[in-house]
Amino acid sequence: MSTIEVERKRELTDATALTARLVEANYRQAGTSVEVDTYYSRPDRDFMSTVECLRVRQRDGFSEITYKPASTAGTHSATEIIAKPETNVILSGATQATAANALLDVLGMVRLCRVEKTRTTFRHPDRGDIIVVIDLISGVGTFVETEIMADDPAAAATLLDQVERELDLVDRPVVSFPYRDLVLRQRPASARDSRTTSI
C-alpha cells in the first residue's frame, strides 16, 4: 500500500496559545515559510465539483506541481478527515514555478486562483510521522492542520484524533473546504462566475 496524507483542518483564533501548547507537548518549530499556490482545473471537468487538486507551489527556493484525486466516501470521512494519495513533481528551483504555470496555461488548463499562505510547521522529535501546521491565509484567516503520513488510513485517523485531543483542538470548528475554495469564496460573485471563461 502506498503512503498517503491523512489530515484535518480547523479554524484557529489564537495561534499564540496553540504554539504554547505545542511547545509544552515537546513539538519543535521546524520553520516558517511563505507559500504561493496557484490552483487549476480542466476545461472539461470542474475540479471544484470533484474536489480534485492541481496546483503549482512556490516557496523559499523550492517549487513543485501537486495533484490530488477527486474526493469520494473513501477519501473524505464523515469527521472531515481527508486521506488521499498525492502525486508530486519537484521542480529544479523556485523560478520553475513560473514555467510550470505558463505550461499549464498554454495547455488550456483553467487557472482558478492564487493562495498566499504563511505556514509555520511543528514536528515532534519522537513522532516523525506527525506534522502540525499553523497557516495564515491572506485575506481569509488562520487555521491549524494536523497531518499524518501513513500506510494505514484508519490507524492514522485514530492517531490524528489523539493528537488533536492532546493539543486541545477538538472544540475548534472543522473546515471541510480546501484553502482554494475559501479564497474563491472571498471573491465577488461576478469574478467567481467568470473563473472558467478565461485565464
pLDDT band, very low/low/confident/very high, at 11 (cuts 50, 70, 90):
very high
Q: Are 114 and 101 in contact (CB under 8 A)?
A: no
What's the half-sphere exposure (Cβ side, CA atoms, 13 Å) at 142? Answer: 11
- What pLDDT, on a 0 to 100 scale, did the predictor assign at position 189? 52
Q: Provide the residue ranges of all domains of the chain, joining segments of one domain with +.
A: 4-193
Task: Spell out the residues 6+ positions from residue 121 whose beta carbon is closer than 8 angstroms to its own.
Answer: 29, 30, 31, 32, 33, 131, 132, 133
Taking only the tens place, the pLDDT of each residue in 20-49 is 999 999 999 999 999 999 999 999 999 999
pLDDT of residue 187: 77
DSSP secondary structure code for residue 42 in this structure: B
For the cut 60, the answer to whether the pLDDT of residue 191 exceeds it is no
Can you give the pTM of this predicted structure? 0.85
Res. 6: pLDDT tops 50: yes
Rg (CA), the chain: 17
CA angle 124, 169, 11 (to 5 degrees): 110
Q: Determine the Cα–Cα distance for residues 39 and 56; give it in Å rounded to an integer.
A: 7
The whole-angstrom separation of Cα 129 and Cα 148 is 6
Distance CA(176)–CA(80), nearest Å, equals: 6
- Domain 4-193's class? mainly beta
